[in-house]
Chain A
Amino acid sequence: MKSVVTLFVMLTLLQGTAFAQSEGTLDVSTTVDKVQVTTNEAGEEVTELVPAETVVPGERVIYTTSFRNTGTEAAENVVITNPISENLLYVEGSAFGPGMNLEFSVDDGQSFASADALTVSADGGERPATPEDYTHIRWSLPGDLEAGAQGVVRFTALLK
Chain B
Amino acid sequence: MKIAIPRIGMMLKLSTAATVLAMSQVAMADGTDAGTPINNTATVNYQVGGNDQTPIDAIAPTFVVDRIVTFTIAPEDGVNTVVAPNEQDAVTRFVITNTGNSPIDLRLSAINLTGATVNGTVDDADMETDFVFLADNSGNGILGDGTDSGFVDALAEGANVVVGVLADAPISLIDGQFAHIELTATAADPGTGINPAPDGALGADLLASGSDDASTIDVVFNDGGNDGFEASQDGYEVQAATLAITKTATVIEDPINGTLDPFAIPGAIVEYAIVITNTGGASATNISIGDVLTAELLFETANLPSGSGNVSITENGTTTYCTADAGDANTDGCTFDGTDTLTIEGSDSSGGTIVPITVGTDPVTIRFRAQIDPS
Contacts and interface: CB of A to CB of B under 8 A. Distances in A.
Contact of A32 (B23, B61, B211, B222): B61
A154 B14 contact: yes
Given A16-B61, A18-B61, A152-B5, A5 B15 contact: yes
A7 B54 CA distance: 34
B232 to A, nearest CB: 24
Chain B interface extent, by class = 35 or more
A5 B56 CA distance: 33
Interface string A94-107: 10101100000000
B68 interface: yes
Contact of A145 (B41, B46, B209): B46
B220 A54 contact: yes
B59 A30 contact: yes
B57 interface: yes
A79 to B, nearest CB: 5
Contacts of A108: none
A77 B45 CA distance: 8
B15 A52 contact: no
**Of listed A7, A26, A49, A67, residue having the most chain B CB within 10 A:** A26
B266 interface: no
Contacts of A142: 1
A115 interface: no
B8 to A, nearest CB: 11
A88 B222 CA distance: 20
Contacts of A65: 42, 44, 58
Interface in B1-53: 1-5, 9-11, 13-15, 17-23, 25-28, 30-32, 34, 36, 38-50, 53
B218 interface: yes
B334 interface: no
B7 to A, nearest CB: 8
Contacts of A30: 40-42, 58-60
Given A20-B56, A47-B22, A56-B27, A146 B42 contact: no
A118 interface: no
Contacts of A31: 60-61
Contacts of A85: 38-40
Contact of B47 (A32, A51, A76): A76
Given A54-B220, A57-B31, A45 B3 contact: no
Nearest to B1: A143
**Of listed A20, A63, A73, residue having the most chain B CB within 10 A:** A20
A113 interface: no
Interface string A49-79: 1011111111111010101000101111111
Interface in B289-315: none
Interface string B51-82: 00110111111010111100000000000000
Interface in A9-45: 9, 16-18, 20, 22-26, 28-32, 35, 37, 45
A69 to B, nearest CB: 9
Contact of B20 (A9, A83, A93): A93
B20 to A, nearest CB: 6
A67 B363 CA distance: 94
B329 to A, nearest CB: 75
A151 B60 contact: no
B239 interface: no
Given A37-B22, A56-B65, A80-B45, 7 more contacts: A55-B38, A57-B30, A63-B60, A93-B20, A94-B17, A98-B9, A154-B17
Interface of A: 3, 5, 7, 9, 16-18, 20, 22-26, 28-32, 35, 37, 45, 47, 49, 51-61, 63, 65, 67, 71, 73-83, 85, 87-88, 91, 93-94, 96, 98-99, 141-146, 149-154, 156, 159-160
15 contacts: A9-B10, A9-B11, A16-B61, A18-B61, A28-B44, A30-B40, A53-B211, A53-B216, A63-B42, A81-B45, A83-B41, A88-B38, A93-B20, A96-B17, A98-B13
